[in-house]
Chain A
Amino acid sequence: MQGSVGRDVIATLIVSVILIWALPLMVGTYTLTVLAIYAMLGLSLGLIWGFGGILCFGQAAFFGLGAYTYAIAAINIGESTLPMIIAVIVPCIFAALLGAMMFYGRLGDVYLGVITLVVTLILFKFVNSTAGPAYTIGNARLGGYNGIPGFPTLNVPGRTDLYIWGDALYYLCAVALVLVYLGVTWLLRSSFGRIAVGIRENETRMSLIGYDVRIRKTVMFAIGAAIAGLAGALYANWGAIVTPGLFSLSQSAEIIIWCIVGGLGTRFGPLLGAAGLGYLKFLLGQQSMINNTMLMGLILVLFVLFLPRGVVPAAISVWRASVGRPRRTGRARAMRRNRRRDRDDG
C-alpha cells in the first residue's frame, strides 16, 4: 500500500509537470486557466458522487458561493490571501449545514437531488434580485444580475502591488489543481475515504457495522463544497467579475455531464470530462453554427447509450484487456469454482 502511494504521487507529479509545460504550446493560457478551474470543479463532484455516493444537483451553488465570497471579501479586505481562505470556508460551512440537515433528516437520494437543486435555484433568484443599493455587504454591492465587477484580484501574499494574472495565474491554477488531486488521492487511500466508499456501496450494512453514516456523508459533502469553493474563487480571479450565472442550473447540469462523460468512480475521469467538454465549449463559442447546449445534451445522450461508464473506466478496461498482463478475472474464477462445486454436489 505505502509503496503504491509513493509511485502514484511520483507518476502524478511527472505527468502534471509535462502537461503544465506542454499544454501552453498548443492552447492559450487564458483558456487553459479556466479549463484547470473546471477540472477542479469536476473533481469536486466526482469525489462526492463517484466515491461518496452523493448525487448533488447543486454543485454550482458552492462554486458560485466561492466566487461571490471571494469578490465580496476582496473588496472589503483588499489583500487577496484572506479572501481566498474565506472563499473556501464559507461554501464548506454552508454545505456542512445543508448536508447535516439532509443526512440527519434521512432524506432519500431523490429528495437529496431535489433539495440541492432547489437551493441552487433559490441562490440564483436571490443573487439575481440584489440590484438595489440596499444589498451591500460592507463596501461590496451585490449588483443583482449585473454581478460584481472590479474587485481586487489575486496578489502575491503580502504584496498588494504584485498581481498574479495571465501566465502566472495559469500556473497557479494548474498547481492548485495538482495539489487538490493529490489531496483527493490521499483522502481516498485513508480510512475515511475507504469507509466513504463502503457507505456508497451499502449504507445499511455500514451502519450495522457501527459507522455513523450521517456525520461521514456530511463531512464528505462539505469537503466537496470546499473544493468547489476554491474553484469558484479562482474563477472569480480569472473572469475579474462574478455574475449570478455561476449559480445557474445549467452550470450544475454541466458538472454532472462532465462526471458522466469522464467516468464516475475514478479521480481522473471527472477532471478529464470537465477539461475536455470545457475546451469543446470554448471551440464552439468561436462559431455560431451549432448550439452549445444542444450539443452538450447530445453528447450526454450518446454517452449514456453507448459508453455509460464514461471515458476513463472504458479506457482502463481496454488497456487491461489488450496491453495489461492477462490476469484471470474474479468473475471467471467464481464461475469455475461454482462449476466445480456443482459437480461435487451432484
Chain B
Amino acid sequence: MAINAVASTHRFPIPRNPMLIRHPMGRSRLRPPGFDDLGLERALSDRLLPFLVAAMAFLAALAFGGFLAAAGLARHWQQGAEAAVTVQVPDPSAVAAGGGVAGTTRLGRVLALLRADPAVARAHALTAAELDALLRPWLGRDSGRLALPLPAVIAVSLARPTATLQRLGKSLREAAPGTLVESHGVWVRRLTVLAQSLQASAAIALLVVTAVAIAVVAVGTHAGLAASREAIEIVHVLGATDDYIAARFAARATRLAVLGGGAGALAALPVLLTLAGLAAPFGRLDTAAAGSGPAAGFPGTALPTLLWLALPLLPLGAAAIGYLTAQVTVRHWLRRLP
C-alpha cells in the first residue's frame, strides 16, 4: 500500500523543515474566484431574492416617478394660474341698466369697469370662436348652433393678488346683475394641496418599499444562515472571523440585489416612458394646444432628468441595502457562536 511505503521512510511533509515551510503571513487575498466555502450558491438562492428585489425596485421607480410628477404639477399650477380670474356676464348684449354711457351693453359696461381698475392687468372677452373651442369638449362641434343662452366669458389677469376680488365682484354685480367672478386661486390652492399630498404619499411609498426590501434581504439572509449553519460552524471553529463570514454573505447578497435592482429598473423604464408621454400635454398647457396627444419628438425627453439619474441609482441602492442588511444580519446571528 502506497501510504505505508511512504510512511516507512519516515518522511513526513509537515515537519520536513518547519522554518522553511512557514507560510508568509501577508494578507494576500488570492482566494480563487467562485470558492464557495459556505455553500451560499445554494443557501442564498438566486431565484427568490433577485425577483423580490426587482419587484421592490420596480415599485420604487414608479413611486419616484409619481413623486416627481406631483412636484411638477404643483409647480406648474402655482406659477400658471395664481392671478387668473374668470368673469361671466349672463345676457351680455342686453343694454345695461342704470347710469353711465347710455346704450352700453352689459358686457361693455363690465369690461370698461375692469379695464379702469388698477388691480386688473388685462381683461379679454373671449370671442365666439374661442368660446366655441372651450365648450366643444362638453357640447360637441355644433355648440354655436345650439340655441343656448351663453354668458360672455372674460379672462382677467390680476396685477395684484386677489385681495381686491370681493370689491371687484361687488361693483361688477351692481353694473350688471348676475355677473360671476371666479378666482382660479382657490382651485390652484386646492390642486396644490392635492399635488403635495400625492408627493407625500409617493415619498412614504418609497420609504415603505425600502423597508420591505431590507426585510426581504434580512429574511433571505436568515434562511441562508439556517441552510449553511453546519458550514458556518465548521469555518468558525477553523478560525474564520465574523468579518470573513459576514463578507461571504454580503458579497452574495449584494450580487443578488444588484441583479434584482437592475431588472426592476429596466422593467420600470417602459412604464415610466408611457406615463410620461400621457402626462406631457398637461405639463405644457401654455405652449402646446391642449389635447394634442403625446409629446412630439424623442420619447425619452418626456422623462424628467432627475428620473434618468434615479434609475441607474436603483441597482446601486439595492446593492447598498443588500450589503448592509447582510452584514448586520450575519454579525448579529454570529454572536450566538463563542
A binds B: no
B contacts, CB < 8 Å to A? none
A contacts, CB < 8 Å to B? none
